[in-house]
């Protein structure tokens, strides 16, 4: 598993329901334009605000489109309760991987994080991707802990959303070649690829998907002359899209492009300002 895995938004119709047709169209277009797979029900999907029926609808739509393209499907699953996380993983045996966050809020310590993933990986019917996002979980991890996680059987990769920090560099420099590190902070995709990341789980790739896929290909081929300016350009776009809480600006842009029926998000998120949306559109 490598390349661009797109963490899909959940578009909403004017009546507040999930806009399933728009969701399918977003997934189809991204896979046509070079994404290698999608992540359903991740942070960008506002999964926290979806009920069980809505989550099932989103997963069904994503699974169908991925089957049509022969593409990878990962699902965001798990939380801070190890037993509940194991049950959530057991409920989805038909996906290619599960993106599981480091336990948030409880701050179990690094040894607790290792124990959490060791137990989940032993019981999970699908391979696990560790989601390391310390600004959301309040649980930082050292490079040594990330490397320990990378050696747990059935943990096949990690989404690293800690920026270009010592822990990220240590993981990239010390993990096994078959362990898939994905950049999770969109603005740092290019430098992460330069240091050996396999790809990115990047919300910004809803837009300019082909350019994001080309950036991954360029770094993998060692084509620095292509990768460096392209990486700078896409980093500027990513910064504009994250000027307000994700995915508010992204949804505003997609709505302005006519690709989703509304720019709506669910509380406590608020729609992005017109200025932020305009700034991102200008960079496109």
Confidence at 155, pLDDT banded by 50, 70, 90: very high
CATH number of 3-226: 3.20.20.70
| Amino acid 216: pLDDT | 98
Rounded to the nearest 5°, which phi and psi values hold at 236?
-65, -40
| Amino acid 224: pLDDT | 97
Query: What's the alpha-carbon Rg for the chain, to the nearest Å?
Result: 18
Confidence at 1, pLDDT banded by 50, 70, 90: confident
Residue 86 and residue 257: Cα distance in Å, rounded? 39
Q: Of the listed 104, 159, 188, 221, which one is catalytic? A: 159
Known catalytic membership, residue 159: yes
| Amino acid 57: pLDDT | 98
| Amino acid 254: pLDDT | 98
Residues 6+ apart with CB under 8 A from 273: 244
| Amino acid 119: pLDDT | 98
Burial of 59 (0-12, 13-18, 19+ CB in 10 A): middle
Q: Of the listed 131, 188, 221, 251, which one is catalytic? A: 131
pTM confidence score: 0.96
pLDDT greater than 90 at residue 163: no
List, for residues 77-121, the tens digit of each pLDDT value. Answer: 999 999 999 999 999 989 999 999 999 999 999 999 999 999 999
Burial of 180 (0-12, 13-18, 19+ CB in 10 A): buried
The average confidence (pLDDT) of the chain is 97
What are the domain boundaries of the chain? 3-226
pLDDT greater than 90 at residue 20: yes
| Amino acid 164: pLDDT | 86
Residues 6+ apart with CB under 8 A from 177: none
How far is residue 213 from each of residues 31, 32, 41, 216, 218, measured CA to CA in Å? 10, 11, 22, 5, 9
Known catalytic membership, residue 221: no
List, for residues 225-284, the tens digit of each pLDDT value. Answer: 999 999 999 999 999 999 999 999 999 999 999 999 999 999 999 999 999 999 999 999
| Amino acid 232: pLDDT | 98
């Amino acid at each position: 598993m490598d390349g661009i895995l797109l963490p899909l938004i959940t578009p909403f119709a004017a009546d507040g329901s999930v806009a399933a047709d728009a969701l399918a169209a977003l997934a189809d277009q991204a896979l046509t334009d070079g994404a290698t797979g999608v992540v359903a029900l991740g942070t960008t999907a506002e999964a926290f605000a979806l009920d069980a029926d809505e989550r099932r609808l989103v997963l069904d739509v994503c699974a169908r489109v991925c089957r049509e393209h022969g593409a990878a499907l990962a699902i965001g699953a798990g939380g801070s309760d190890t037993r509940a996380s194991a049950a959530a993983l057991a409920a989805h045996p038909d996906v290619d991987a599960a993106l599981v966050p480091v336990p948030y809020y409880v701050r179990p310590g690094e040894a607790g994080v290792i124990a959490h993933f060791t137990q989940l990986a032993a019981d999970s019917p699908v391979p696990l991707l560790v989601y390391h996002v310390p600004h959301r979980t309040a649980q930082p991890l050292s490079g040594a802990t990330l490397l320990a996680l990378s050696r747990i059987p059935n943990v096949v990769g990690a989404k690293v959303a800690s920026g270009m920090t010592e822990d990220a560099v240590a993981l990239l420099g010390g993990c096994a070649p078959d362990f898939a590190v994905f950049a999770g902070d969109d603005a740092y995709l290019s430098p992460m690829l330069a240091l050996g990341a396999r790809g990115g789980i990047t919300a910004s790739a809803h837009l300019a998907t082909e350019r994001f896929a080309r950036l991954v290909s360029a770094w993998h081929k060692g084509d620095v002359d292509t990768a460096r300016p392209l990486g700078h350009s896409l980093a500027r776009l990513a910064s504009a899209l994250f000027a307000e809480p994700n995915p508010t600006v992204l949804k505003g842009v997609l709505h302005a492009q006519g690709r989703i029926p509304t720019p709506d998000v669910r509380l406590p998120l608020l729609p992005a300002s017109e200025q932020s949306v305009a700034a991102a559109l200008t960079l496109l």
